[in-house]
Amino acid sequence: MNVDLIIKTDGQLVTCASPVGSKRGSAMRDVGIIPGGAIAINDGVIIDVGNAAEIQSAHATAELFDVGDRVICPGFVDPHTHIVYAGERLDEFELKLKGADYLEILAAGGGILSTVKETREAAVGQLVDGGLKRLGKMLQCGTTTAEVKTGYGLDLETELKMLRVIEQLDQMQAIDIVPTFLAAHAVPQEHKADPNTYVDLICSIMLPAAWGWYKDSGFFERTPFFVDIFTERNAFDVGQMSEIFTEARNIGFKTKAHVGQFTNLGGSRLAIEMGAVSIDHLDAISAAEIELLAGSGTVGIVTPTVNFNMGSCRFADARQFIDSGCAVAVSTDFNPGSAPCPSQQLAMAIACRYQKLAPSEALNAATINAAHGCGVGDRAGSFERGKKADILILDADDFRQVVYEFGGNSVRNVFKAGVVVL
């Protein structure tokens, strides 16, 4: 068969393949290494994967990309980011260094609410420019697919503005974006006296309006659309989660949830029982909830960059999650307050050191499991026939170097749908 491109290595071709869905247990230690492997690509899609000699014998191509003994691996998938916003929180960063914690800053009107003020005032063009810069940094670090949330508007006008920005960003650069509607990120100041009025507004007005945007957008029928909620003290409780998720599911949204970041309000159990695609953070999840997660189709997404940024040694027990049979993914949680980090490589490196993941588990967590954690495991996160040819060439002869080394960048080349974009 004639194909557009073959990429081959004399070293490791790392597939992260998992035809049965997200990886769990011992499967997370298998990254599917093919020594001296190759990938055949046509029209941006993977046609074949295997031994280089066999691939070159089976397929003719006008273009052969030989990477020598370098590692070839799937593009990273970042399943939890907040990269559309205005302003930075540098003053808040200094307050944290002096001992102020996240919930104290939020209760005083800082944190998310300070970014809300600036994002409400920002023009679409300003938000697009900022988002492009952040996505550019993520691409340089090897991310080829990313979930991107709203949540810095907290009113109908700004949340819809953020959705329009997300659509523009998806069209203007190489990273594929999965949109998430996070109007339930915090209770805005104008509803502090009666948060349930804001929940009613989300359910009756904002969710239908967001779905209307989705139906008219370029995402409709090709990319899932999520609703998310931050269930935490000074944010939303499980009753409010149930109300929002019920309405969202009735409309057609898929669901994700910020749960157990600081305190356990029971959000993990409820989100799993309501069929959430992922539950995220999980620092305070209980043993019973871990067991429930292991028996579900929900992916547990950990965000080690948040704990690192806060100078905390209390991390989600991802080692226990994996040993219990949970599907675990890793994310940067790239955002202006708790995790200003564009690099999945750094997130993986921290997860190995503080959450005791093996390098193979970390790579699977940042590729195939991350893809399932944002609903695109059928098209991204691994080298399998029919998936997009999203490919990294690493300046390494062993995939483990991507987490062994830290503070630099192991990515040499990025292919997006079979085209070199870096």
Report the CATH number at residue 9: 2.30.40.10
- Tell me the C-alpha distance between 72 and 413, whole Å: 10
pLDDT digits (tens, 9 = 90+) for 147-160: 999 999 999 999 99
Are 184 and 222 in a shared domain? yes
pLDDT of residue 90: 85
pLDDT of residue 99: 80
Query: Residue 101 pLDDT > 90, yes or no?
Result: no
pLDDT digits (tens, 9 = 90+) for 269-319: 999 999 999 999 999 999 999 999 999 999 999 999 999 998 999 999 999
pLDDT of residue 110: 73
Mean pLDDT in residue range 92-113: 76
Are 26 and 134 in a shared domain? no
Are 304 and 408 in a shared domain? no
Are 33 and 106 in a shared domain? no
Nearest to 327 by CA among 290, 360, 287: 290
Query: Residue 109 pLDDT > 80, yes or no?
Result: no
Are 106 and 224 in a shared domain? yes
pLDDT digits (tens, 9 = 90+) for 14-47: 999 999 999 999 999 999 999 999 999 999 999 9
Average pLDDT, the chain: 96
Are 88 and 207 in a shared domain? yes
Write out the E strands in 32-135: 33-35, 37-42, 45-51, 60-61, 64-66, 71-74, 76-78
The model's pTM is: 0.97
- CA atoms lying within 13 Å on the CB side of residue 32: 24
Are 105 and 208 in a shared domain? yes
Are 91 and 152 in a shared domain? yes
Q: What is the DSSP letter of 378?
A: T
Are 39 and 81 in a shared domain? no
CATH code of the domain containing 231:
3.20.20.140
pLDDT band at 236 (very low <50, low <70, confident <90, very high): very high
Are 107 and 47 in a shared domain? no
What's the structural domain count of the chain?
2
- Domain span at 232: 76-373
pLDDT band at 97 (very low <50, low <70, confident <90, very high): confident
- Tell me the C-alpha distance between 324 and 327, whole Å: 9
pLDDT of residue 104: 74
Q: Name the residue with higher pLDDT: 158 or 114.
A: 158
pLDDT digits (tens, 9 = 90+) for 120-154: 999 999 999 999 999 999 999 999 999 999 999 99
Query: Residue 217 pLDDT > 90, yes or no?
Result: yes
Are 210 and 181 in a shared domain? yes
